[in-house]
A = this chain, B = another copy of it.
Amino acid sequence: MSSLKPVLVVAGIGAGGGTGGATARAFAKLGYSIALIARGTDSLKSLEKELQNSGAEATSFPIPSYEHSSIKSAFESIRARYSSTQYSIRAALYNAGHGVWKPFLDITPEDVKIITETNIEGSFAFAHEVLSDFKQNEIDTTNGKRGILIFTGATASIRGNTTTSAFAAGKFALRALSQSLAKEFGKQNIHVAHAIVDGGISTPLSRARRNNSEWDQNEDIRLSPEAIASSYVYLASQERSAWTWELDLRPAHEKW
């Protein structure tokens, strides 16, 4: 890789204890500087602190929403912070999501709006910024990449179900975007990948909601954010002759 310091941009870190946070930590350990984009200022700041305390460069870029203009402006700040003379955005994770699980007739226009904003408007804006930057990068000779853009999907990315009409619509759309981009930008040595996370993830929030220590302690039945992040690190390392667009991830005992 060039002498520029690699940067990972993560959008969507929830309360910091999930996939986005774990991915930030994993890439920080590999020497990446981290740019964090999310809606919740408190969690952002706290993750930023934690990463800095561990010796990493990390900066948070709070946004009010996943609207196009918010994403665009976050990237302007990122580029100001991580100037292209010293840094190079090499990895990006679009991990933003919003869960709506409701009988269809209970879904409100507001639910639909936030689903489309999170899964489409935001992802298109994020990908636009990331790919524009990637195109300027040199190819990393170790793996043939100018950069890697990863999307976090879910079971609902490939299957609609009785209470997931809105959630699945968003996740299907995100998968379509990722496949289209993988096909278009692979030729430019930009790696685009999509992970189908199939199962419950153990996060501070999900643990509090379930309040079931057996579930949390049994790694056979739930995903850990660190394991998901490991797969993202693996994807980033894949060499050019064998890139993965899509993989599924589920606990050993998951029924599917």
Asked whether, in the complex, the Cβ of A250 is within 8 Å of the Cβ of B242, the reply is yes
Digit string of A186-221 for contact with B (CB within 8 Å is 1, else 0)? 110101000000000010000000000000000110
The stretch from A6-14, A75-83, A165-173 touching chain B is A165-173
Asked whether, in the complex, the Cβ of A105 is within 8 Å of the Cβ of B124, the reply is no
**A239 / chain B contacts, CB cutoff of 8 Å:** 219, 224, 227, 230
Digit string of A170-185 for contact with B (CB within 8 Å is 1, else 0)? 1111111111110111
* Partner among B176, B222, B224, B253 whose Cβ is within 8 Å of the Cβ of A168: B176
Q: Does A68 contact B (CB under 8 A)?
A: yes
Q: Does A248 contact B (CB under 8 A)?
A: yes
Asked whether, in the complex, the Cβ of B184 is within 8 Å of the Cβ of A252, the reply is no
Bound-state Cα–Cα, A165 to B126, Å: 14
Q: Can you name the residue of chain B whose Cβ is closest to the Cβ of A202?
A: B241
Asked whether, in the complex, the Cβ of B253 is within 8 Å of the Cβ of A187, the reply is yes
Bound-state Cα–Cα, A109 to B120, Å: 10
CB distance from A159 to the nearest CB of B (A): 7
Bound-state Cα–Cα, A242 to B253, Å: 10
* Partner among B105, B109, B242, B250 whose Cβ is within 8 Å of the Cβ of A243: B250
* Size bracket of the A interface: 35 or more
Q: Does A15 contact B (CB under 8 A)?
A: no
**A164 / chain B contacts, CB cutoff of 8 Å:** 176, 180
**A174 / chain B contacts, CB cutoff of 8 Å:** 169
Q: Does A17 contact B (CB under 8 A)?
A: no
Q: Does A228 contact B (CB under 8 A)?
A: yes
CB distance from A129 to the nearest CB of B (A): 10
Q: Does A31 contact B (CB under 8 A)?
A: no
Asked whether, in the complex, the Cβ of B241 is within 8 Å of the Cβ of A184, the reply is no
**A224 / chain B contacts, CB cutoff of 8 Å:** 239, 241-242
Q: Can you name the residue of chain B whose Cβ is closest to the Cβ of A198?
A: B245
Known: A173-B169, A238-B227. A256 touches B219 (CB 8 A): no
Asked whether, in the complex, the Cβ of B116 is within 8 Å of the Cβ of A186, the reply is no
Asked whether, in the complex, the Cβ of A184 is within 8 Å of the Cβ of B242, the reply is no
Q: Which residues of A contact B (CB under 8 A)?
A: 68, 103-105, 107, 109, 112-113, 115-116, 120-121, 124-125, 127-128, 131-132, 144-145, 156, 159-166, 168-181, 183-187, 189, 191, 202, 219-220, 222-224, 227-228, 230-231, 234, 238-256
Jot down 7 A-B pairs with beta carbons below 8 A, ordered by A.
Answer: A104-B181, A109-B124, A165-B180, A168-B179, A219-B241, A223-B241, A227-B239
